[in-house]
Amino acid sequence: MLINLSLVIYGLAMCFVLFYSFAQANLLWHFFKFKDSKMPMASLDDKGLPKVTVQLPVFNEKYVVERLIEAIASMHYPKEKLEIQVLDDSTDETVDIIKSCLKSFPEVNFKYIHRADRQGFKAGALKEGLEVAEGELIAIFDADFVPDPYFLLKTVGHFKDEKVGMVQSRWGHLNEDYSLFTRLQAFALDAHFMVEQMGRNAQKAFINFNGTGGIWRKSCILDAGDWHADTLTEDLDLSYRAQQKGWDFIYRPDVVSPAELPPVMSAIKSQQFRWTKGGAECARKHLGHVLKGSFPLKVKIHATAHLLNSTLFIAILLVSLSSIPVWWGFYQGLIPLEYFKLAAFFLFGFVIIASVYFFANLNLSHFTIRSFLRFLWELPVFLAVSMGLSVHNAQAVWEGLTGKKSPFVRTPKYNLSGKGRNWVSNTYNQLKIPPTAYLEAILAIVFSVMVAVSLYTGTYEMLVFHSMLAIGFSLVSISSFKSYLIHP
């Protein structure tokens, strides 16, 4: 009975992965149709340029906030039409750093807004800033970003179309070569920003504002109900509310907004938890309305895959755990070998997913031999680490789907654009070891034993899969303990 139940769970989870991969295949197809599209750019000589407010939400960012302010101050846009709000919720020396830095730019229209009460966290800060914002357009950048000086000129032209509510740029990476984990994050984000965002936008499916590196029409934000703090991903939430109200979104892959990637597993996990749980919360909040709405079928399908994509981690965890009794069933002859051959059909889904990452990453590097060789090791390592994160992220998704609330935990910023600087001295490092880290270590041992048993018994059907799980859980658990325990 246990083997049969495990086989059913294994099959259903793999079917979900296959459904997701088919949606990805459709996005990849539209990516090829959209990737060479030409985009407009405004000119400083244009007398009709709209007034813009740039919002900079900040909370205890002493390592990066000065760099952010300097970058924003150098933006190319008429000074009389540019307002910059520093929305500061800081409780440490960041406050003094900001005030000192702003004195260096008396010619720039900076507005400093400090909140003693972090009600609503980032969403609350953006909402309060919006109430006094002078611009008809609202650009938003997080503290770890270094925006393109021409960002506004490259994006404001789209708002001549009164239906356009938001324009999103592509994230770049300031420190992608800092470590293995920053490289793997860049690998994953490039697939989202190249294939997923472009593929959805090309067929007018719902896309999302990514929380930063985008510019909104103020009236769109207000029409959609303003910022809400009832999910951990206020950006995705507002995106779906606005597009359900009929606003059009534009994605600009040619406009790059460089940002810093978290270099340490504790910071990566805090970011992943917020993204995956927030995505599940938005699925709970919006998916039913989208499916009941009068949207085209393709929009509903892609919204389902989009809002439920974090549920992949639950599927991966279920496949991983159920694979052990399934392996035992094959070994004991309790499951016919034909079942295993049938399961090979599911590999088609992984081929599609691999293709998404292949074309996204190599397109950015212009298909060089070096990038191809790098892809050959990055893909399996990325998949292994993603499997290793399945326990942590599955917990986040489950909490999001079941409505369990948790506070907004910000991701520490480090300002590590070069390899010479160390993350250890960062005072914002999180030092409390979560229970999932111990479970990851246990699973690393379990799947390492499974690999050894498979080699000993000569049953190789799941050897590759279990090897990737052993490597993934080992990498995640070791780096987790290292990041939580090593500090000054």
Q: Rounded to an integer, what distance in angstroms lies between the CA atom of residue 101 and that of residue 230?
A: 33
Place of tokens 């919002």: 55
Residue 171 CB coordination number (10 Å) = 20
Q: Rounded to an integer, what distance in angstroms lies between the CA atom of residue 374 and that of residue 371?
A: 5
Residue 341 burial by Cβ neighbours in a 10 Å radius (0-12, 13-18, 19+): exposed
DSSP 22-51: HHHHHHHHHHHHHTT-------TT-TTPPP
For the question of residue 230 being annotated catalytic, the response is no
Exactly one of 89, 144, 148, 190 is catalytic; name it.
Answer: 89
- Specify the DSSP class assigned to residue 72: H
Helix (H) or strand (E) holding 223: helix 218-223
User: Please, where are the H alpha helices in 35-133?
Assistant: 65-73, 94-102, 121-132
Side chain identity at residue 353, one-letter code:
I
For the question of residue 235 being annotated catalytic, the response is yes
Exactly one of 142, 148, 190, 235 is catalytic; name it.
Answer: 235
Q: Rounded to an integer, what distance in angstroms lies between the CA atom of residue 174 and that of residue 417?
A: 6
Strands 214-217 and 164-173, bridge-based pairing: antiparallel
Strands 52-58 and 137-140, bridge-based pairing: parallel
Which residues, other chains included, contact 440 with Cβ-Cβ below 8 Å and sequence gap of 6+?
388, 391, 392, 473, 476, 477, 480
Q: Rounded to an integer, what distance in angstroms lies between the CA atom of residue 251 and that of residue 205?
A: 12
Q: In a 3-state reduction of DSSP, which class is residue 162?
A: coil
Q: What residues are labeled active site?
A: 89, 235
